[in-house]
A and B are shown apart, each in its own frame.
Chain A
Amino acid sequence: MTDSSQTVLVMILAFIAGFIIMAIELLGGRILAPYFGSSIYVWGSIITVFMLSLSIGYLCGGKLSLHNPNLKTYGTFFGGAALLLLPLILWSIPIMEWLFLQIEDPRYGSLVVSMLLFFLPTAVMGMIAPYSVRLLVSSTHGSGHVAGKLYFVSTLGSALGTLATSFYLVLWFEVNQILFTMVATLIAAGIAAIIAGTKQQVSDSV
C-alpha cells in the first residue's frame, strides 16, 4: 500500500468515526428521554460522558500508538467500537428500566445510564483520532500539518453526523435502524483497515 492511499484511507475512516460519534451522541438524548426526560441535565449527562470517554480514548489511543503502529490494530478499534455499541441497541431498555428503579434523581440516573451505555464505545472511538495521527505522521516537521488535516476531516464528519441525524435520519428511520447502520459501517471500516494492513505487511516483507 502506498503512502498516499494509506493517507486517503485513514482520512476517510477518521471522517466516519467523527460522523458516528456525534450521531450517537444526538441519538443518546432520544434513547434516554423515555426514562429520564429531556430536561437540560439529561443533555448535561450525555455530553459529560461523551467528553469524558473521548478524553480517555485520546489518552489510550496515543499510548497504544507508541508500539508498532499499524492499520490492523487501527481496524480493531472500529470493530471493537461496533461490538461495544451492541448493548446500546440490544439492552438499553432493560438497563434503563433497572436504573430507573434504583436511582430516583433523574440527574444521577441519566449520568449513570450514560456511563453504562456510552462510555466504552465512545472511548474506543476516541482512540482512533491520535492513532490516525501516528499512522500518517512521517516527520516532526509535518506532524502539525497532519494533525490539522485529521482534526479537519474528523470534526467535519462530526458536523455532518450531527446535521444528518437531527435533520433527516430521525425523520426517515427508527433509532435502532440508525444504530445498526452505524455498527455495520464501523465493521466495514474495520475490515477495510485490516485488509489494507495485511496487504501492507505482505508488501513490506517482500
Chain B
Amino acid sequence: MNPRRAPTIWEQFKSHIIIILCIALVIPGNDLFAQNGLRNIHQERSLYRNIVVTEDSNRRCMRFTITSRSGQNQSCRFLERPVELVFPYAKMTLSSLLVQDNPQRILIVGLGGGTLPDTYSRLFPDAEIIISEIDDAVFRVAREYFGFQETDKIKVDIGDARVYIKRAGLRGEKFDLVILDAFNGEYIPEHLMTTEFLEEVKMLLPENGMVVSNTFSTSRLFAAESNTYRSVFGEIFNIRMSGTGNRVIVSSMQLLPDRATLEARAPAFQERLEQFGMDVTDYIQYMSTEVTWDSSQRLLTDQYSPANLLNN
C-alpha cells in the first residue's frame, strides 16, 4: 500500500469547485428564464434591419436587433392590457397634450408596433393620422403581430420621411402635431435631425402646431440636437426622466406654457390619460425650458450631421 499522501488542491476542493462551476453555468441561463419564458415568435430581415417579435407571459415586443440587450425594444404591448403604455417615452410623448390639447391632423414618423397611432386615435377618434414609415416590413409586422390597422382615418405612407415632409410642405398640407419617433434604433437617420429638416417640418405646422420628438438623452448628440431644435423653434421642453434612455423634445409654434398653465390644464386630461397607465400631473415637473446642456455644441445641418458618430 502506498504511504498516505497529502490530498491535492483539486481533491480538497473538488466539490466546491464543481458547485461554483455549476452556478456559473446556470446563472447566464437563468437570465433567460427570469424574463418569464421570453421567446421569439417572429424574425425577419428587411431591407433596413432585422425585425424580431418576442413574447413572454406578460408582453409582446418588437425589436430591431438580434441580441436581446435590455432597452433595445422598439415597441411593446401588455398582452392583457393592450391599451396601457409600456414605455415611459410613450407616456412622455402623450404628456405633451398639455401643450397642445386638440390635434386633429397628426403626422407620426416611425410606425414601430403602432402604439402611438393607436393611442392618439383612441384619444381623438376624429383625428386624421398619417404615419411615415420607411420599412414596409415593419408595417407588415405591426399588422400581423400588433393588431395595427389602417382605417379611413389612419394611413401609412411607406417611404422616407424627409421626402414625405418636403412634398407635404409643397402641397401646403398642415399638421397640428408632428411626432418624430424614428430615432431609437441602432442607426439614426441623420437627415431627420438637421436645421433644414426642422424648417421643413415647421412649414407643416399651423399657428398652434407642435413637434414632439422622441430621442436620446445621452452622448454629445444630446447637446447638438437640443441646440438644433432651439435654433429653429426657440425654447423647447426637454422632458427627461430617470430610468429611461429616452428624452422627449416638445417644440411649439407658440410660446410654451408656464407651469401654472400646465397645472391648470392637467385635470382635464388626467382621467382621459389614466387608461394608458399614466398620471399626467407627474410629467409637469419635467416640462422645463431650462438649458441644461452645452449650448456651444455645433448645430446639426445638412452640411454637418454626424449624428451616429456623436452618439457613440
Residues on A close to B: CB < 8 A?
A: 30, 33-40, 100-101, 106, 167, 170-171, 173-176
Chain B interface residue bracket vs A: 20 to 34
Q: Are B309 and A171 touching (Cβ within 8 A)?
A: yes
- Our pick among B134, B161, B197, B309 for the contact of A170 (Cβ within 8 Å) is B309
Docked Cα-Cα span, A33 to B159, in Å, equals 12
**Bound: A43/B280 CA distance, A:** 44
Given contacts A37-B134, A37-B191, A38-B191, contact A106 B163 (CB under 8 A): yes
Report the bound CA distance from A154 to B161 in whole Å: 37
Give the residues in chain B near A101, CB-CB below 8 Å.
170
Flag if B304 contacts A39 (CB, 8 Å). no
Kindly supply a per-residue 1/0 record for chain B positions 281-298, scoring 1 wherever the CB is within 8 Å of any chain A CB and 0 otherwise: 000000000000000000
Q: Give the contacting residue for B196; candidates A34, A38, A106; CB below 8 A.
A: A34
- Could you tell me if B163 and A175 are in contact, using CB atoms closer than 8 angstroms? no
Q: State the CA gap A35–B309 with chains docked (Å).
A: 22
From A35, A37, A174, A176, name the one whose CB has the most chain B CB atoms within 10 angstroms: A37
The verdict on A37 contacting B159 (CB below 8 Å), with A100-B166, A170-B306, A171-B306 known, is yes
User: Which residue on A lies nearest to B312, using beta carbons?
Assistant: A171
Interfacial chain A residues near B160, Cβ < 8 Å: 36-39, 106
Q: Is the interface of A mostly helix, strand, loop or mixed?
A: helix
Q: Are B163 and A37 in contact (CB under 8 A)?
A: yes
The 5 tightest CB contacts between A and B, nearest first, are A37-B160, A33-B191, A174-B303, A171-B306, A171-B309
Chain A residue with Cβ nearest B160: A37
Contacts of B310 in A (CB 8 A): 171
A174 & B301 in contact (Cβ 8 Å cutoff): yes
Give Cα distance in the complex from A34 to B166, angstroms.
Answer: 9
Q: Are B162 and A37 in contact (CB under 8 A)?
A: yes
